[in-house]
Structure 1
Amino acid sequence: MSINYNLIIAIFCCVTIGKAQDILTQEQAVKLALENNYGIKIANNAVRVAENNTSILNSGFLPTLTGNAGATYNLDNTEAEFSNGTSTVLNGAESDRYNASVSLNYTLFDGLGRRYNYKSLKEQYQLSDLQARETIENTITQLFSIYYNVAQLTENLDALSETLNVSKDRLVRAQYQFDYGQNTKLGVLNAEVDINNDSINIISAAQQLKNAKRDLNVVLGNTLGTDFSVSTEVDFTLKFQKDSLFNKAKTRNVALLQTEKNIAISQLDIKSSKSGYLPTVGLNGTYGWNKNNNNAASFVAVSTNTGLSGGVNLTWNLFDGGGTITRVKNAKVNLESQQLEKENILIGIERDFENAWENFYNKLNIYNIQQQNIMTSENNFERTKEQFKIGQVNSIEFRQAQLNLLNAELSRNQAKYDAKLAELQLLQLSGELLNVQF
């Protein structure tokens, strides 16, 4: 059975180059995501729109000022008969008129509708801010899910590479033993088979690592090339007691805060709808200029008028066919729905928190157990290795000890990052995800 040594050398070169790459830390990844992730950018734009809507220019409290101007030209054939019995005929008589005016309209009172609508816009701005925060939290969670996947695959690739090194040493030893008649060809063939299997595992892991890096780059707004690595260091930062963290979840959870904003908006919608029961009082004023150039049949050849007019108007929709009554009823029903939604979210938070808390500590315990398992597997492998050198164990037993160590390392890597992601999920649920150092 032949071995493609050029392929193995290429694999080792890739692994060695990967270790020399610049390391993208967790802090740098978060910074890049906040600056370049497209989902976050879109969410921030939505906040900007909501902020613009809270401006006084969108409140309805300012007056409206309208300018008007016009001109009219007439070309008439006129037959005129005067009181003294004379008459005249004018063909192609020209006349023209010009006008210009400026009108001011201002609503003094609209049943307090503007006031409640303006307050509602402010609440909607704060709601948009919470929605942007939710997008950021979800993006950060997605970021670390992929980031730690890259880190896990990196460590897996290192473990597989070390396994391949051991298999290569074993092949060299088996070849020497065969050359000097101390072993059969079967030992050499077994070592070659294991090297090929280890090489295939490395190729698969390297491809998975490349794919994961591409996924990470998408979350970062495609700001990195393919030549980067990530930190494999993990710190567990959770320092809250369970009761303290649960209280934070009931007050800072972003989904709960959004529901509270929706309740406030619904309450304002009821008041705004009730404004339809009250009258509207407005002011209006106009300053105008008019000039008429009449034809010869008119008694006045040219007239020019300028003037200022103003007034107060009151409009009271005594009955609008029941539209206002329906809007008020629907607003009350919507408020009730939002309050029920809040109660439902609180129940869900309590359940999700208990699940997340137990999930985190279980995975953390599993990680600690896997750490101990690594030590046991290393001791077992080292002893098996020494016994293999002096011929007390065969190649199958040696390979099994080698695989036991590899599987322990892969399981430890999986447990480490599972525990960290469980911690992040718990922090997100309690509203503390953006308040910790990564």
Structure 2
Amino acid sequence: MRRIYIVPILIFTFFSKGNAQEKLLSKEEAVALTLENNYGINVAKNFVEIAENNKSVLNSGYLPSLTGTAGANYNRSDSNTEFPGQLLEDGSLRPDAEVNKAESQRYNSGLNLNYTLFDGLGRYYNYKRLKEQYQLSELQARETIENTMLQLFSVYFEVARLTENENVLQQALEISKNRNTRAEYAFDYGQNTKLDILNAQVDVTNDSINLLNVQQQLRNTKRDLNVIVNQNLEETYVVDTVVRFVSKLRLEEFISQAQSNNVAVLQTERNLKINEYDIKVNKSGYLPTIGLSGSYGWNLNQSAPSAFFSGVVFPGTNTTSVSLGLGASLTWNLFDGGGTTVRVKNSKIAYENQEMLKKQVELEVNRDIQNAMDIYKNRLNIYNIQEQNVLTNQNNFERSKEQFQLGRITSIEFRQAQINLLNAQTNKNLAKYDAKLAELQLLQLTGQLLNVDL
């Protein structure tokens, strides 16, 4: 009869030893691994780096442009010049003028400098706009980090909950095995029936299956956590099951400062500032543009020999020249068909839309914070009730155990007390982590998720 339970006992022993050898993955270590290795966070950091490059003076338009040019030309030619019917002074025919392997070279180089002295302040406001865009990118990266942290702790606390449930089910299995052993001894001495043994065996089997299912869920959830922290999927560890809640006074302080810390509100403020600069950039089209230019050039011309009068070959020449230029220009688009006016009007409308969006986001954030606070209080109350419920069911189970050992209640009544305790313990675990996740969501809305010790 007892051989039936060798497999569950071996499975239980295997996982118990495995858990004892696993390292601890603390909350702080999980956060550090996520910030360093998570793909989504690293992509967000790269976008911030791009925005930082864009806001540098190298992308501002304030620096001049300097262009260098250089060129070289080579030419070689053979020529024969005839003078048909032409006579020299002595009456003889004019001879042909022949030039062979006549070579000519041309070399030139130059520098051109252009600088926009004034462009209607468009460059100035665009530079400020790029700085605001950089701050917006930082806020977007922060939002990505906050969402990833919330995802991290959702999975982390799920691992913790399943770990505690595993321990509860292991205890339940141990109780059922002990009960089965007692039933077999009692049957051997004629103190109970075969039915008591069968009931105990059914409960051992059910508890073994429940334990195996939870252990499978735990392994899967650990893989989910490994994906978030970006480490080997088969990495094994145990997590910290201790939960600490933020004090009520500190939460109230966070809520009072939520409008100045909430990432969604801060993003709308940055977008509003960007739209304000868009208006000013477009208005710069009404003003003139003043530019300065300078140039420096060097030329060398080596001409080829050429035929001259009376068949004489005139030798080539070398000509070197250096030039220096400086200029200023003023461009004023007095009328561009109304394009600038349309752009200014549209940017003003976009600014008004952003103002309304900011008010809407502030209203929604206030609503979400109040809802999150109510949810948190409710879940915290449920957790406190479940803690008391565990104590009640623990006392009930201990009394039932005594009565069962004295033969005053049946195995079915004892099993019911055991199930009630098991349900109370798992419900308490669920309520504890639900309350903590509700607190984390509240901290995210108040903009403090990355600033508190979790």
TM-score in terms of structure 1 length: 0.94
The match for 1:15 is 16
The match for 2:368 is 352
Given the superposition, is the C-alpha separation of residues 297 and 279 from structure 1 closer, same or farther in structure 2, using an over 3 Å criterion?
farther
What is the SS of the residue equivalent to 1:420?
A: helix
CA distance in 1, matches of 2:408, 2:303: 127
Q: Which amino acid aligns with 1:139?
A: T
What is the SS of the residue equivalent to 1:233?
A: coil
Q: How does 1:33-432 map to 2 (within 5 A)?
A: 33-76=34-77, 88=97, 90=99, 93-222=102-231, 226-240=235-249, 244-297=253-306, 301-432=317-448
* Displacement after TM superposition at 1:91 (Å): 6.3
Q: Which moved more, 1:294-303 or 1:137-146?
A: 294-303
Once the two structures are superposed, residues 225-258 of structure 1 have per-residue CA deviations (whole angstroms, 9 ceiling, x without a partner) of: 5220001100002443665433322111001001
Given the superposition, is the C-alpha separation of residues 315 and 79 from structure 1 closer, same or farther in structure 2, using an over 3 Å criterion?
farther
Given the superposition, is the C-alpha separation of residues 297 and 238 from structure 1 closer, same or farther in structure 2, using an over 3 Å criterion?
farther
The match for 2:311 is none
Contact map agreement 1:238 1:423 (CA 8 A) in 2 = no
Q: Which amino acid aligns with 1:368?
A: N
Q: Which amino acid aligns with 2:55?
A: T
CA distance in 2, matches of 1:411, 1:168: 24
Q: Which amino acid aligns with 1:320?
A: D
* Displacement after TM superposition at 1:89 (Å): 6.0
Q: Which moved more, 1:256-265 or 1:37-46?
A: 37-46
CA distance in 1, matches of 2:298, 2:82: 31
Q: Which amino acid aligns with 1:338?
A: Q
The match for 1:30 is 31
What is the SS of the residue equivalent to 1:169?
A: helix
Contact map agreement 1:80 1:297 (CA 8 A) in 2 = no
CA distance in 1, matches of 2:296, 2:215: 79
CA distance in 2, matches of 1:321, 1:3: 92
Q: Which amino acid aligns with 2:331?
A: T
CA distance in 1, matches of 2:255, 2:81: 95
Q: Which amino acid aligns with 2:388?
A: Q
Q: Which moved more, 1:213-222 or 1:10-19?
A: 10-19
* Displacement after TM superposition at 1:348 (Å): 0.5
Q: Which amino acid aligns with 1:282?
A: G
CA distance in 2, matches of 1:218, 1:240: 36
* Displacement after TM superposition at 1:314 (Å): 1.4
Indicate the RMSD between aligned Cα atoms, in angstroms.
2.2
Q: Which amino acid aligns with 2:189?
A: Y
* Displacement after TM superposition at 1:78 (Å): 5.8
What is the SS of the residue equivalent to 2:241?
A: coil
Contact map agreement 2:227 2:233 (CA 8 A) in 1 = no
Q: Which amino acid aligns with 1:357?
A: M
* Displacement after TM superposition at 1:328 (Å): 1.6
What is the SS of the residue equivalent to 2:10?
A: helix
Given the superposition, is the C-alpha separation of residues 35 and 363 from structure 1 closer, same or farther in structure 2, using an over 3 Å criterion?
same
* Displacement after TM superposition at 1:79 (Å): 7.3
CA distance in 2, matches of 1:193, 1:70: 96
Q: Which moved more, 1:126-135 or 1:400-409?
A: 126-135
CA distance in 2, matches of 1:377, 1:192: 24
Once the two structures are superposed, residues 348-368 of structure 1 have per-residue CA deviations (whole angstroms, 9 ceiling, x without a partner) of: 011101110000000000000
Q: Which amino acid aligns with 2:113?
A: L
CA distance in 2, matches of 1:90, 1:109: 57
Once the two structures are superposed, residues 49-77 of structure 1 have per-residue CA deviations (whole angstroms, 9 ceiling, x without a partner) of: 21122211111111111110001223456
What is the SS of the residue equivalent to 1:232?
A: coil
* Displacement after TM superposition at 1:301 (Å): 2.1
What is the SS of the residue equivalent to 2:242?
A: coil
Q: Which amino acid aligns with 1:147?
A: Y
Q: Which moved more, 1:401-410 or 1:53-62?
A: 53-62
CA distance in 2, matches of 1:223, 1:59: 44
Once the two structures are superposed, residues 74-106 of structure 1 have per-residue CA deviations (whole angstroms, 9 ceiling, x without a partner) of: 345667799x99885656643221100111111
What is the SS of the residue equivalent to 1:433?
A: coil
* Displacement after TM superposition at 1:259 (Å): 0.6
Q: Structure 1: 5+ residue runs without aligned partners? A: none
CA distance in 2, matches of 1:188, 1:105: 98
Q: Which amino acid aligns with 2:162?
A: L
CA distance in 2, matches of 1:52, 1:266: 21
* Displacement after TM superposition at 1:223 (Å): 6.0
* Displacement after TM superposition at 1:12 (Å): 2.6
Given the superposition, is the C-alpha separation of residues 111 and 193 from structure 1 closer, same or farther in structure 2, using an over 3 Å criterion?
same
TM-score in terms of structure 2 length: 0.91
CA distance in 2, matches of 1:81, 1:344: 93
* Displacement after TM superposition at 1:286 (Å): 0.9
Q: Which amino acid aligns with 1:142?
A: Q
